[in-house]
Homo-oligomer: A and B are copies of this chain.
Amino acid sequence: MIVQRQSGVALWRQIADRIRTAIANGDYDATGKVPPEISLAAEFGVNRHTVRSALAALAQEGIVRAVQGRGTLIERKERLNFPISRRTRFSEGIGDQAKEKEGLLLAASEESATPDLASRLQLAVGAAVIRLETLRKADRRPVSRATAWFPAERFAGIAEAYRDSGSITAAFTALGLTDYLRVSTEVTAVHADSGDLADLELSPGAIMLVTRALNADADGVPVQYAISRFPADMVQFTIEN
């Protein structure tokens, strides 16, 4: 398996991505370090300098740490698992995979529903909706950026409720909605945009998993539509049927 030249993607970046994936897969768990630069160079068919560029990028991300004479040690290795089910909740989904969970409100505004949004939330086109931009963290590392829309009439004050609790579930409870269910989830993947890079502290070229999710109350009335973005090398989804 060889890296691709003249593809518009620098060799060092391709190699960095491959090593990052290998670390996440646990391929180097036996030693706790990455193979020596010289053997990685042989494996990928490149110069050692090129491998060094890749490792430097991973060191910048905090994933590895090179020690002269010893090798390149693996510092951080994480891939959070998010279950997707009828009862999907962000905080519960993480479970004990992280100790500290945090939800930050980046921005909130009221706007009127576009045709697409109105049809998903079963509102009239132009109906008032509240939009929240949120950033969620696990153990102080950002793990997702999300934009969520709620019917404004029913959920006035949800921005404050979310800001105070850091949790959608808690905010809903505060507004009198005690239970809600996931109706559908669409999953795609794209390259990180500049907002992702800034908010999630990623390096360019990173891959994002994108979910578009609809939640409804017990009567099936839509209560939330959300587009969430997760760094693909930190996250995987599990659908249990």
A17 an interface residue at 8 Å Cβ cutoff? Answer: yes
Contact of A232 among B81, B190, B203, B205 (CB under 8 A): B190
Q: Compute how far the CA of A21 lies from the CA of B232 in the bound complex, rounded to whole angstroms.
A: 17
| Shortest CB distance A236–B (Å) | 4
A184 close to B241 (CB less than 8 A): yes
A241 close to B183 (CB less than 8 A): yes
Contact of A7 among B182, B187, B203, B235 (CB under 8 A): B203
B8 close to A9 (CB less than 8 A): yes
Interface residue stretch chosen among A62-70, A125-133, A167-175, A192-200: A192-200
What mask results when residues 212 to 241 of chain A are scored 1 for a CB within 8 Å of chain B, else 0? 000000000000000000001101111111
B184 close to A236 (CB less than 8 A): no
- Per assembly, the copies of the chain total 2
A194 close to B8 (CB less than 8 A): no
Task: Tell me whether chain A's interface is mostly helix, strand or loop, or mixed.
Answer: mixed
A8 close to B7 (CB less than 8 A): no
B182 close to A241 (CB less than 8 A): yes
Most buried by B among A8, A190, A207, A232: A8
Contact of A189 among B8, B205, B207 (CB under 8 A): B207
A122 an interface residue at 8 Å Cβ cutoff? Answer: no
Most buried by B among A10, A18, A86, A88: A10
Q: Assuming A2-B194, A195-B1, A207-B191, is B7 touching A84 (CB within 8 A)? A: no
B189 close to A232 (CB less than 8 A): yes
A193 close to B13 (CB less than 8 A): no
B204 close to A189 (CB less than 8 A): no
B241 close to A86 (CB less than 8 A): yes
A188 an interface residue at 8 Å Cβ cutoff? Answer: yes
Extra 5 A-B pairs, beta carbons < 8 Å, given A1-B193, A84-B239, A188-B237: A8-B205, A187-B187, A188-B235, A188-B236, A239-B239
29 A-B pairs with CB atoms under 8 Å apart are: A1-B194, A2-B194, A4-B205, A7-B203, A7-B204, A8-B57, A8-B203, A9-B204, A17-B190, A21-B190, A21-B191, A84-B239, A84-B241, A86-B241, A88-B241, A181-B241, A182-B241, A183-B241, A186-B236, A186-B239, A187-B209, A187-B237, A187-B238, A188-B237, A189-B209, A190-B207, A190-B233, A205-B205, A207-B232
